[in-house]
Amino acid sequence: MKCPYCFYQESKVVDSRPADDGERIRRRRECLKCQKRFTTYEIIETTPLMVIKRDRSRESFNREKILAGLLRACQKRPIPTARLEEIVGDIEIALQNRLEHEVDSQVIGEMVLERLKPVDEIAYVRFASVYRQFKDINTFLEELNRLVQSRDAFGSQS
């Protein structure tokens, strides 16, 4: 493993432990040249998941793209980044468990909305406005009304 500080090719593993509920292994390494320590993660190599976009083109699944969208939607909201990473990890695992090699981007968008709604309604509406491509204020208001109705329905069941 190449050292990120001096770029020397040799390092030794100082510590290993499971991460992300055993999905990855976190390794602390020490460079054999400069003795600085750094962390690497090891994951199981799987068949790449392909995302079918709206224009029917395909691209590899990219968890960082989902996280970036969540970060934009949650900007200036009291939501820890760790919570957003949990959402992305949950979505990634759910997609891998589907045992399909391709998934529509709409499915991923709906999964994000489903998980974001109970976390923060403002972030939910922000994400929905971009994901669902609200055309005008009426479309925006319709989504807000659906959100209020679902909250009222949920609240009346308690």
Where are any strands of DSSP class E within 20-116?
24-31, 37-43, 50-52, 58-60, 102-104
Answer for the pair 76, 126: CB distance below 8 angstroms, yes or no. no
What confidence category does residue 149 fall into, taking pLDDT thresholds of 50, 70 and 90?
Answer: confident
Residues 38, 32: Cα–Cα separation, whole Å: 12
DSSP letters spanning 63-121: HHHHHHHHHHHTTTSS--HHHHHHHHHHHHHHHHHTT-SEEEHHHHHHHHHHHHTTT-H
Q: Is the pLDDT of residue 158 over 50?
A: no
Residues 98, 40: Cα–Cα separation, whole Å: 28
Q: Is the pLDDT of residue 52 over 70?
A: yes
Backbone angles phi, psi at 59, to 5 degrees: -145, 160
For the chain, give the percent of residues with pLDDT over 90: 67
Question: Could you say which DSSP state residue 3 is in?
Answer: -
Q: In what order do the strands lie in the sheet with 37-43?
A: 11-19, 24-31, 37-43
Q: Which residue has the higher pLDDT, 147 or 65?
A: 65
Q: Domain segments of the chain: what residues? A: 11-43, 50-157
What confidence category does residue 55 fall into, taking pLDDT thresholds of 50, 70 and 90?
Answer: very high
SS3 86: helix
Using CA atoms of 101, 117, 150, 156 in order, give the dihedral in degrees to the nearest 10: 120
Answer for the pair 2, 9: CB distance below 8 angstroms, yes or no. yes
* Span 58-70, pLDDT tens digits: 999 999 999 999 9
CA 135 to chain centre: 26
SS3 114: helix
Q: Is the pLDDT of residue 46 over 90?
A: no
Q: Which residue has the higher pLDDT, 148 or 104?
A: 104
Q: Which residue has the higher pLDDT, 151 or 119?
A: 119
Looking at residue 137, its pLDDT comes to: 85
